[in-house]
Amino acid sequence: MSNLLSKEHSPYLLQHAENPVDWRPWSPAVFEEAKRLQRPVFLSIGYSTCHWCHVMARESFEDQEVAQVINADFLPVKVDREERPDVDGVYMAACLAMNGSGGWPLTALLTPDQKPFWVSTYLPKAQLLRLLRQAALLWRNDRKKALSAGEDLTLYLRQGTDPQDSIPSRELVRRAAALFSHGFDARWGGFGPAPKFPSPHNLIFLLRYAHYTGDDHGQEMALKTLDAMYRGGLFDHVGGGFSRYSTDNRWLVPHFEKMLYDNALLALAYTEAFQITRRPVYGEVARRTLDYMLRELSGPQGGFCCGQDADSEGTEGKYYTFTVRELVQLLGPSHAERFCQWYGVTPEGNFEGKSIPNLLSQAAFDREPAEIAALRERVYAYRLGRTPLHRDDKVLTAWNGLALAALARAGSAMGDPRYWDSARQTADFLNKALTQADRRLLARWQDGNAAHPGKLEDYAFYAYGLLELYHATFDPACLSRATELASFLLEFFFDREHGGFYPYSSDGEQLLTRTKEAYDGAIPSGNSVSGLVLSRLARLTGEECWHNAAQKQLSWLAGAAKDHPAGHSFATLVFLEELWPSAELVVAARETPGELRSFLREAICPGLTVLVKTPESIHTLSPLAPFTKSYPIPALGARYYLCRNGACSQPVDSVSKLRSLMRP
């Protein structure tokens, strides 16, 4: 049979497209064909940098015997979870319900009505063949049993009910912090046993919680974890950027794949730590993480690609590890000795006879010695000569929204225009390549082709990134586009009766279930980020429509988080901004004052929203925030209008006076 995947599909779908399985992409037409042929569907969900997805492909999908069984008795469908998170969400929920755990590759057998009657994850060839033959026999001889199992599981999945609305409270936020404290690894940092995941949004919450409440333990947990992740092998000390997770307790041996979303969120976390502590090492880690993204994940036409594979020449970690001997040959004996001593490279190694560079035995420091930095650059140049890592070159709108937020925040915190410029370029790419004529979003761009209607995360994360970019540049076009995206969220995704946002739009393809998700996973939930966007728009614009929507959404989030608030850290981050003292600043001036940028770079004020009104921005800003019409622009200098907790101060004309007003 001819394979139905073409170049318009993602790298994951194409990586094994030449194998003998007659893969189809997910589409309603496939299920119409399944109904016509009365065949079950064999569904495989994975992603390009998934090690076990490739293992299963090599073991089974490239095997003629397996392919023959699949093609003869099933309609095989392959889905990239990164560009179809809606499809993945439905069947991962089924996998969790059936097995109590999930993961990728996800393997499912579906009825022609999309209902799952069997779901699992990775299966070795012999197991998969046994399953396929038994399922085919069941379908031929006792189809009612398979259909009944699909009906039962679907009914269970559809029984999910909305959480009962609750009022966000300080007690809920404190319980989240207490739960993190209970699971904290005081020796190595992080939470719980290995494998350890970075979960940067948890660390940002703890840093903000410490700032708002004065609870030093929250900051200690966050900084201990940030220090440990950077010092271990999770951080790529040679080339910058972070791997996916650590396989051990001390963050030494990672699973070596690198993902855009991890690095964007970690850059945000280290930038936050730098702003709070002013320790140069945190700023340096944030810079090296963002520079990795710019250098190795930037797409040729704009935007950021998804990530890099863990394997090189079929061996995980081979690209990243070194021996003493090869470093001596590269650097010479004396320089190699210095490099190996600094980065813990030893003759016996720490990973399969080789060494992952790390700083676990190194004393704490704030600045890397210039000699080490120079040697590191030479080792990086040498490493570039190795077999390149596979790069998943999809550009996802949602993940680029996170990258946009990280670049904008770092540019503001460090005063580095490179990051502002890259943030603007990212926003421009999303506006041109992933925006339709009606201004709505598409989810994925690859090789000149944009596809799939935007999902909740696409709108929420992109709007969040634009709000961060507005705070960095005060370009009113960013605020205008963020407002437009939030309007689409309310129109097509929001449950106005109960609160909460659905994962895909009301006018899009309707899947088996449309369950709202609030729990944070590797990335914050779309519902939590939507709550932040609505909350900030309410304070920036003063408009009642945003305030009402924000209150409805935060009540829904509070209800969702009440049983396990630590699993909803991004929502509790929004609660911090809502429940603790906040401030709103309007600056009226002929142009954005340079001293304002310096003030925002130096001050620690996470609850502050800022609007800048100039002759250039007035026509865009006034419709978005009508209250600013009454703020006159002075002929000279600037006027600073500060409101705190519902009370406004007399305007002042300098940042030094503004600092006095900002003091507790």
Pairing of strands 647-648, 116-120: unpaired
Mean pLDDT of the chain: 93
List, in sequence order, the alpha helices (H) in 280-439.
Answer: 280-292, 324-331, 333-343, 370-383, 397-414, 417-433
For the record, the structure tokens of 49 come out as: 């940098």
Is it the case that residue 48 has pLDDT exceeding 90?
A: no
User: Worst-scoring range by mean pLDDT, 23-27, 162-166, 575-579?
Assistant: 162-166
User: Which residues 6+ apart lie within 8 Å of 81 measured at CB?
Assistant: 45, 46, 47, 87, 88, 104, 106
Task: Please give the pLDDT value at position 646.
Answer: 76
User: Which residues 6+ apart lie within 8 Å of 112 measured at CB?
Assistant: 31, 34, 35, 38, 39, 40, 41
Across the range 267-289, mean pLDDT stands at 96
3-state class (DSSP) for residue 522 = coil
Q: Structural domain boundaries of the chain? A: 11-158, 171-312+391-579, 320-383, 583-662
What's the CATH architecture for 11-158?
3-Layer(aba) Sandwich (3.40)
Q: How confident is the model at residue 1 (pLDDT cuts 50, 70, 90)?
A: very low
- What does the pLDDT look like over 76-110, one tens digit per residue? 999 999 889 999 999 999 999 988 888 899 999 99
- Beta-bridged to residue 446, according to DSSP, are 449
For the record, the structure tokens of 602 come out as: 């130096």
pTM greater than 0.85 (yes/no): yes
Task: Please give the pLDDT value at position 466.
Answer: 98
Q: Do 615 and 205 meet the contact criterion of CB atoms below 8 Å apart?
A: no
Number of H helices, E strands in the chain: 25, 18
For 603-659, the DSSP string reads ---TTEEEEEE-TTTHHHHHHHSGGGGGSPPPSSSEEEEEEETTEEPPPBSSHHHHH
* Residue whose pair of structure tokens reads 């995947």 in the numeric block: 5
CA distance 481 to 132: 49
Task: Please give the pLDDT value at position 580.
Answer: 92
Is it the case that residue 636 has pLDDT exceeding 80?
A: yes
Q: For 555, how many CA atoms within 13 A lie in the half-sphere containing its CB? A: 15
Single out the residue of 601, 604, 594 nearest to residue 612, CA to CA. 594
How wide is the angle at C-alpha 154 spanned by C-alphas 149 and 155, nearest 5°? 100
Q: How confident is the model at residue 6 (pLDDT cuts 50, 70, 90)?
A: low
Task: Please give the pLDDT value at position 2.
Answer: 42
Q: Do 639 and 628 meet the contact criterion of CB atoms below 8 Å apart?
A: no
What's the DSSP call for residue 525? Answer: -
Is it the case that residue 231 has pLDDT exceeding 90?
A: yes
Q: Do 285 and 235 meet the contact criterion of CB atoms below 8 Å apart?
A: yes
CA distance 141 to 148: 14
CA distance 52 to 434: 30
User: Worst-scoring range by mean pLDDT, 55-64, 330-339, 565-574, 610-619?
Assistant: 55-64
Q: Report the percentage of the chain scoring pLDDT > 90.
A: 84
CB atoms < 10 A from the CB of 418, how many?
A: 15
Task: Please give the pLDDT value at position 604.
Answer: 75
Task: Please give the pLDDT value at position 661.
Answer: 87
Q: Do 265 and 201 meet the contact criterion of CB atoms below 8 Å apart?
A: yes
What's the CATH architecture for 171-312+391-579?
Alpha/alpha barrel (1.50)
Q: Do 107 and 44 meet the contact criterion of CB atoms below 8 Å apart?
A: yes
CA distance 485 to 607: 23
Across the range 604-627, mean pLDDT stands at 92
Q: Do 364 and 222 meet the contact criterion of CB atoms below 8 Å apart?
A: no
Burial of 365 (0-12, 13-18, 19+ CB in 10 A): exposed
Question: Omega before 11 cis (within 30°)?
Answer: no
CA distance 359 to 292: 19
For the record, the structure tokens of 468 come out as: 């961060």
Amino acid letter for position 339: F
* CB contact burial 97-136 (16+ within 10 A = b; e otherwise): ebeeebebbbbbbbbbebbbbbbbbbbeeeebbebbeebb
Q: Report the percentage of the chain scoring pLDDT > 70.
A: 97
Across the range 582-602, mean pLDDT stands at 91
- What does the pLDDT look like over 388-429, one tens digit per residue? 999 999 999 999 999 999 999 999 999 999 999 999 999 999
For 423-455, the DSSP string reads HHHHHHHHHHHSB-TTS-BEEEEETTEEEEE--
CA distance 226 to 204: 10
- Beta-bridged to residue 78, according to DSSP, are 25, 44
Q: How confident is the model at residue 158 (pLDDT cuts 50, 70, 90)?
A: confident
Taking CA atoms, 309 is separated from 51, 243, 358, 476, 565, in Å, by 8, 10, 20, 38, 33
- What does the pLDDT look like over 347-396, one tens digit per residue? 999 999 999 999 999 988 888 999 999 999 999 999 999 999 999 999 99
Task: Please give the pLDDT value at position 164.
Answer: 81
CA distance 303 to 444: 11
Is it the case that residue 270 has pLDDT exceeding 80?
A: yes
User: Which residues 6+ apart lie within 8 Å of 386 measured at CB?
Assistant: 312, 318, 319
